[in-house]
Amino acid sequence: MATPATIVILYYSRSGSTQQLADAIANGVRKTGAEPLLRTIDSDDDAASSRDLVIANTDLADCDGLIMGSPTRFGHMASGLQKFWEQTSREWLRGVLVDKPAAAFTSSSSMHGGQESTLLSMLVPLLHHGMLVLGIPYTEPELQQTTAGGTPYGASHVEHAAGSRLSKHELSLAEELGSRVARTALRLAAQKETKSL
């Protein structure tokens, strides 16, 4: 049977924290029966993680949803991700991402070091591409309980020390964000199928 929905998880990670979030989000996607496609960007940074394949522009047309993650870089997404979006004019003109669900995630070293502005900076190109942007609702109890990352604007991790693991609240909020985007993609796909019958 064909996979009902593919969710691209596009991220850049230099020292592994954003990658931990990407993996938690991928687990959340899998829990719904959808398939996560972990992809990174072409980076001239030798230290960047090269575990996952570099994203191809065709992945944008082929996916049913997209979740994007970056380390917080002076309160903004990393420049390599911005560069990737600046190379998607063709996809933007064709509207390949229009009406597909989307979300964002980030990791920073400090608690008030700009996670929210970074998350919002990632949502901007997704909105220009016509995506349906999702966050994390306060009906998720961990959003009230967390003393580290996890925001209504997207999933996050506060690193404090390099290589620190996600807290249990950060982990669960990241998984829930993955599930939420995937559930939305599956619902939209089911609606489309009903209409075409």
Q: Please identify which residue in 6, 17, 146, 172 interacts with ligand FMN, judged by CB under 6 A.
A: 17
Segment lying near ligand FMN (by CB under 6 A), choices 28-36, 70-78, 129-137, 174-182: 70-78
Alpha-carbon distance of 192 to 126, in angstroms, equals 22
At position 87, the amino acid (one-letter code) is Q
- Angle, helices 168-196/17-31, rounded to nearest 10 degrees: 40
Segment lying near ligand FMN (by CB under 6 A), choices 25-33, 102-110, 127-135, 182-190: 102-110
- Asked if residue 146 binds ligand FMN (CB under 6 A), the reply is no
Q: Please identify which residue in 71, 80, 125, 149 interacts with ligand FMN, judged by CB under 6 A.
A: 71
- Asked if residue 6 binds ligand FMN (CB under 6 A), the reply is no
Q: How far is the CB of 46 from ligand FMN (least distance, A)?
A: 13
- Asked if residue 169 binds ligand FMN (CB under 6 A), the reply is no
Residues 6+ apart with CB under 8 A from 77: 68, 70, 106, 118, 121, 122
Cα 108 to the center of its chain, rounded Å? 15
Q: CB nearer to ligand FMN: give 50 or 110.
A: 110
Q: Give me the half-sphere count of Cα atoms (radius 13 Å) on the Cβ side of residue 160.
A: 7
Q: Please identify which residue in 30, 52, 75, 148 interacts with ligand FMN, judged by CB under 6 A.
A: 75
Q: How far is the CB of 79 from ligand FMN (least distance, A)?
A: 9
Q: Please identify which residue in 107, 121, 151, 179 interacts with ligand FMN, judged by CB under 6 A.
A: 107
Alpha-carbon distance of 37 to 63, in angstroms, equals 9
Q: What are phi and psi of 167, to 5 degrees?
A: -70, 165
Segment lying near ligand FMN (by CB under 6 A), choices 30-38, 72-80, 95-103, 179-187: 72-80
Q: CB nearer to ligand FMN: give 114 or 130.
A: 114
Q: Give me the half-sphere count of Cα atoms (radius 13 Å) on the Cβ side of residue 38.
A: 19
- Asked if residue 117 binds ligand FMN (CB under 6 A), the reply is no
Residues 6+ apart with CB under 8 A from 97: 60, 66, 91, 126, 129, 130, 131
Interface residues toward ligand FMN, by CB under 6 A: 13-19, 71-75, 107-110, 113-114, 159
